[in-house]
Amino acid sequence: MVPRIVNPLDEMLFKEVLKEQQRIRVYIEKARYGKLKTIIEGIDEKEFDLEDIAKKLKAKLACGGTVKKGRIELQGDHRERVKKLLGDLGFSEDLIEIE
The partner residues of 92 in beta bridges, in order of sequence, read: none
Higher pLDDT, 16 or 29: 29
Q: What is the pLDDT of residues 7-22, one digit of tens each?
A: 566 666 666 666 666 6
The contacts of residue 75 (CB under 8 Å, 6+ apart) are 31, 35, 37, 38, 63, 64, 65
Strand ranges across the sheet with 65-68 = 65-68, 71-75, 36-41, 24-30, 96-98
* Residue 48: φ, ψ to 5°: -125, 150
Q: Do residues 63 and 34 lie in contact, with contact meaning Cβ atoms separated by under 8 Å?
A: no
> What mean pLDDT is reported for the chain?
84
pLDDT of residue 26: 93
pLDDT of residue 19: 61
pLDDT of residue 23: 82
